[in-house]
Amino acid sequence: GDALSIALATVGDMTPYQWFNVVSSLGYVLFTATTSTVTMLVPAIIFLRPVSANLYARCTSWVFACWWTSCLFITERLNGVKVRVTGDALPLNAPLLIMSNHKCNLDWMFLWSSAIRTGSMFHVGVFKAVAKSEIRVIPIFGWGCKLNGFAYVRRRWSSDASHLTSWIRSQIRRRLDANWTLIFPEGTRYTDRNKERSNQSCAKDGLEPMAGEILRPRTKGLALLLRESAKGGGYYRKIVDMTIQYTDDAGKPLKGAALGTRCFGQLAKGELPVATCHVHFDVFSAKDVPAGEDEDEVEAWVWKRWRTKAAMLEACAAAGRFEGVKEWPTSGSTVPLLAQTALRCFFVAQGLCCVGAACASTAFGAYAACAAVGLAVIAQADPAWW
């Protein structure tokens, strides 16, 4: 909510070119997200969900894959951010558990960028994040993420444990071939204040603080997902450690302060200070990762990975990139302009049809209003099995 408010507040003193950028980015996102929810996602709930949860999931994944791919125009073309992807290839058509450091609010957008560089646009839409519950009440965006199967947590383990358990068990029952779960063990994005709290927490528990712009990982949620996966016959085929960093034109890492909430306003105007986003993947077989029965064992493994991650980020600060790692063949490429433009035109066209129908038909307007109320109720209730 704060992010959207700040993004909207940046339009006060802008040039015509900046206005054009805001309309083609923020305007596009708001317009197409709202209308495609009414024309595609709600009909999927009505007609597909009662028939087959798997068919519904596949349909909504395609909708999100197409829309999110169209939105990559904003980061990669309007703002000119290059995406460098290194490390192990991400297996397709297999459930993955992805853990990542949380640099800023844009991190998951660059997971979309990485996913499309696997060569499969469908996999842009198969990821589901474990996210803070405040997101679920954001109109359209929070509702849409819930419809795509996000797991919302309240950061109170007494209630989150049962909710997350029910959520992962529902995922396992469906046995979807492509299902990527993204979790940020740090629990929040990097800020100087959060770094201070992280260091205080480490000191309190007699642990050495993490070096650089990285926070202490919290592993209860991850341990629970690993444990339930093992009970479900090894649901997650691979465990993925994702490391993300942003550099400027000079190849210097951007400080967390430069990527705070205000980055949404910069993104909308085409003035994001990021020149390159570096994404690195280390993929592990499930048998090489603690199964989750012993939470201390999971914590030790994650701490070891986070120390490695901190060293990688430190080396990136010196070299301007992750070095000594294999670069993906598609790293540095751009999303095909023709396909992206076609998707943007499609979503704008369906949006105009939606608005036209709402203006011409009282019944359709009533349907849209009822849909909004229904989505708000679903998001507020936040059923774990969705």
Given pLDDT bands bounded at 50, 70 and 90, which one contains residue 211?
A: confident
Q: Note the pLDDT of residue 11.
A: 52
Q: What phi-psi label fits residue 87: left (phi over 0), alpha (psi between -120 and 50 degrees) or beta?
A: left
Which whole number is the average pLDDT over 266-284? 95
Could you tell me which residue, 52 or 13, shows the higher pLDDT? 52
- CA-CA distance, 319 to 309, in Å (whole number)? 15
Check whether 152 has a pLDDT greater than 90. Answer: yes
Measured CA angle at 257 (ends 252, 263), to 5 deg: 95
Q: Both ends of the chain: CA-CA distance in Å? A: 23
Check whether 332 has a pLDDT greater than 70. Answer: yes
Instruction: Name the DSSP class of 15.
Output: -
Given pLDDT bands bounded at 50, 70 and 90, which one contains residue 124?
A: very high
Which whole number is the average pLDDT over 353-374? 97
Q: How far is CA 153 from the centre of its chain?
A: 15
Secondary element (H or E) of residue 280 = strand 276-285
- CA-CA distance, 366 to 362, in Å (whole number)? 6
Kindly state the tokens that stand for 374. 């229904």
b/e map of 114-148 (b: 16 or more CB within 10 Å)? bbbbbeebbbbbbbbbbbebebbeebbbbbbbbbb
Task: Specify burial of residue 281 (Cβ count, 10 A radius: 0-12, 13-18, 19+).
Answer: buried
Q: Note the pLDDT of residue 113.
A: 96
pLDDT tens-digit profile of 27-86? 999 999 999 999 999 999 999 999 999 999 999 999 999 999 999 999 999 999 999 999
Which whole number is the average pLDDT over 102-124? 94
Which whole number is the average pLDDT over 353-368? 97
* Alpha helices in 232-361, H assignment, sequence order: 263-269, 295-319, 337-360
Kindly state the percentage of the chain with pLDDT values over 70: 97
Which whole number is the average pLDDT over 254-260? 81
Tokens 């070096």, residue located: 211
Instruction: Name the DSSP class of 256.
Output: G
- CA-CA distance, 105 to 267, in Å (whole number)? 11
Other Cβ atoms closer than 10 A to 377: 10
Q: Note the pLDDT of residue 265.
A: 87
Kindly state the percentage of the chain with pLDDT values over 90: 88
Tokens 């740090």, residue located: 186
CB-based contacts of 166, cutoff 8 Å, min separation 6: 384, 385
pLDDT tens-digit profile of 133-146? 999 989 999 999 99
Q: Note the pLDDT of residue 257.
A: 72
Phi, psi of 190 (to 5 degrees): -75, 130
pLDDT tens-digit profile of 344-355? 999 999 999 999
- CA-CA distance, 199 to 194, in Å (whole number)? 9
Check whether 289 has a pLDDT greater than 90. Answer: yes
Check whether 2 has a pLDDT greater than 90. Answer: no
| In contact, 193 and 261? CB cutoff 8 Å | no
b/e map of 337-353 (b: 16 or more CB within 10 Å)? eeebeebbeebeebbee
Check whether 108 has a pLDDT greater than 90. Answer: no
- CA-CA distance, 221 to 152, in Å (whole number)? 12
pLDDT tens-digit profile of 159-193? 999 999 999 999 999 888 899 999 999 999 999 99
Q: Note the pLDDT of residue 258.
A: 81
Q: Note the pLDDT of residue 4.
A: 53
Q: Note the pLDDT of residue 262.
A: 78
Mind giving me the DSSP string for 172-239?
Answer: HHHT-SS-EEEE-TT-S---HHHHHHHHHHHHHTT-PPPPSS------HHHHHHHHHHHHTTS--SEE
